[in-house]
C-alpha cells in the first residue's frame, strides 16, 4: 500500500487550526460576521497580521469574505470542520479506553491509600 503525500483539504484544515490566533478568530466569527478591523481589536497584532491569518483560514475554506470594496466582512464556514471531526472521531474508542484505564488506576490507588479519618473503619 502506497500512501500519496499530497497536499489535501484535511491537512489545510488542521494547519489552519494549529494557531491560537486563528482559532480565536473562528471563535469570534461563530457569533456573526465582522470586519478585519473589528477582528484585530482583541489581538496585540496589526490588521495586516490579522489579514495574513485570514488568508490561511480562507485558503482552508474555513472563512469567506464579502466582495464589498470597503468593507469585506469575514464569515465562518464551518463545513471543513466536519471532515476534521469525522477523522478524529475514529480514535474516540482509543482515548475513551485510555481514560477509563486511568480512572480505574486512580480508583485502585485511592482504595490502597492510608485513610485520613474520613469514613475509615478499623484503624
Tell me which H or E stretch contains 63. Answer: strand 63-65
Total site size for a copy of itself, rule CB under 8 A:
44
Part in contact with a copy of itself (CB under 8 A); list of ranges 63-71, 72-80, 103-111, 112-120? 72-80
Q: Which is nearer to a copy of itself, 31 or 110 (CB)?
A: 31
Exposure class string for 8-45: b at 16+ Cβ within 10 A, else e: eeeebbbebbeeebbeebbebbeeeebbbeebbeeeee
* 72 makes contact with a copy of itself (CB under 8 A): no
Residue among 55, 59, 98, 107 that touches a copy of itself (CB under 8 A): 98
CB of 102 to a copy of itself, least distance (A): 9
Amino acid at each position: 500500500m502506497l500512501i500519496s503525500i499530497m497536499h489535501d483539504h484535511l491537512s489545510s484544515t488542521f494547519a489552519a487550526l494549529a494557531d491560537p490566533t486563528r482559532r480565536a478568530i473562528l471563535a469570534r466569527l461563530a457569533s456573526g460576521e465582522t470586519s478585519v478591523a473589528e477582528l484585530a481589536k482583541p489581538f496585540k497584532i496589526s490588521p495586516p497580521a490579522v489579514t495574513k491569518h485570514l488568508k490561511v483560514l480562507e485558503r482552508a475554506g474555513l472563512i469567506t469574505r464579502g466582495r464589498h470594496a470597503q468593507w469585506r466582512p469575514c464569515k465562518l464556514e464551518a463545513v471543513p470542520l466536519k471532515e476534521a471531526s469525522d477523522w478524529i472521531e475514529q480514535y474516540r474508542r482509543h482515548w475513551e479506553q485510555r481514560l477509563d484505564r486511568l480512572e480505574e488506576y486512580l480508583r485502585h490507588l485511592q482504595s490502597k491509600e492510608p485513610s485520613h479519618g474520613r469514613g475509615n473503619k478499623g484503624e
